[in-house]
């Protein structure tokens, strides 16, 4: 009886481990946070985080939103490419389908109508299988919005400073930079832990995408 009981416990333990392992493979993120640096004139503010399907089949997931210091004047919306929600409030939740993504990962797209209101706030989303609510992944979209046109937006990025036509990396960590013209043309794609030389870019307004660890910063700024 003791051997039989122990075997039952072992089988139950292995079953739970296998279930947890299988669930852990349902989806994953490469980036979990994105920071959008804008002025109030650059509304709506929007960007995305990519979610990867690890099952190869349609998978039902759920999101739940949490706001931190989001101004009441902002209207937050959310789009997962298979469904969209024009207004999302703190505490809202809904189910969505994560499709197989053999070529391109699915995008979880955040949007904010700023309504001429500056602020610094974050929208968090818990993403999880509704059948396994205790196992979840949290992603975040941080908004840094000022009302001052011409502000040096780069000062909002903690590990970067602009010096002599170059972006200098302060913390020595490997960073990827992509620079896009406003027409969508990619002007630069580099990886460095020291500095990025921008002297080859003609004077213009550009979008900078800076990626370090699992966080991405998106900033629209002027290259002199």
DSSP letters for 107-132: EEEEEEE-TT--EEEEEEEEEE-TTS
Q: Is the pLDDT of residue 20 over 70?
A: no
In angstroms, rounded to a whole number, what is the distance separating the alpha carbons of residues 119 and 116?
10
The full DSSP string for 41-93 is TS-SEEEEEEEEESSSS-EEEEEEEEEES--TT-EEEEE-SS-EEEEE-TT-E
Residue closest to 195 by CA, chosen among 155, 162, 167: 167
Residue 102's pLDDT is 63
Where do we find the tokens 């002599």? Answer: 164
Kindly state the average pLDDT of the residues 8-32: 56
Region class of 32: left (phi > 0), else alpha (psi between -120 and 50), else beta: alpha
Contact of 192 with 211, CB cutoff 8 Å = no
Q: What's the distance, Cα to Cα, between the start and end of the chain in Å? A: 80
- pLDDT value of position 48: 93
Peptide bond into 44 cis (omega under 30): yes
| SS3 state of residue 10 | helix
pLDDT per residue as tens digits for the range 49-103:
999 998 888 999 999 999 999 999 999 999 999 999 999 999 999 999 999 876 7
DSSP 3-state percent helix, strand, coil across the chain (nearest 5):
10, 50, 35
- Nearest to 139, CA basis, from 33, 63, 221, 68: 33
Residue whose C-alpha is closest to residue 221's, from 159, 137, 156:
156
Name 146's Cβ contacts closer than 8 Å, sequence gap at least 6: 38, 39, 40, 118, 153
For residue range 122-148, list pLDDT tens digits in order.
999 999 999 888 888 999 999 988 875
pLDDT above 90 (res 160): no
Instruction: Determine the Cα–Cα distance for residues 77 and 79; give it in Å rounded to an integer.
Output: 7
pLDDT at 37: 86
pLDDT at 25: 58
- Residue 18: phi and psi, rounded to 5, are -65, -40
């Amino acid at each position: 009886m003791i051997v039989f009981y122990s075997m039952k416990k072992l089988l139950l333990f292995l079953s739970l481990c296998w279930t947890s392992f299988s669930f852990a493979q349902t989806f994953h993120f490469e980036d979990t946070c994105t920071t959008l640096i804008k002025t109030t004139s650059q509304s709506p503010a929007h960007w995305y985080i990519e979610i990867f399907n690890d099952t190869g089949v349609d998978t039902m997931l759920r999101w739940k939103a949490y706001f931190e210091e989001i101004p009441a004047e902002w209207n937050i919306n959310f789009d997962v490419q298979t469904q969209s929600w024009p207004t999302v409030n703190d505490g809202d939740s809904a189910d969505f389908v994560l499709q197989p993504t053999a070529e391109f990962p699915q995008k979880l797209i955040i949007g904010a109508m700023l309504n001429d209101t500056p602020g610094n706030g974050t929208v968090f989303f818990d993403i999880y299988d509704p059948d396994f609510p205790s196992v979840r992944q949290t992603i975040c979209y941080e908004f840094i919005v000022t009302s001052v046109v011409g502000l040096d937006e780069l000062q909002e990025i903690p590990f970067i400073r602009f010096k002599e036509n170059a972006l200098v990396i302060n913390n020595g960590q490997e960073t990827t930079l992509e620079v896009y013209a406003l027409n969508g043309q990619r002007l630069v794609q580099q990886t460095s832990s020291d500095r990025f030389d921008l002297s080859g870019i003609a004077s213009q307004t550009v979008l900078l995408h800076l990626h370090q660890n699992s966080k991405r910063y998106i900033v629209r700024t002027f290259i002199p």
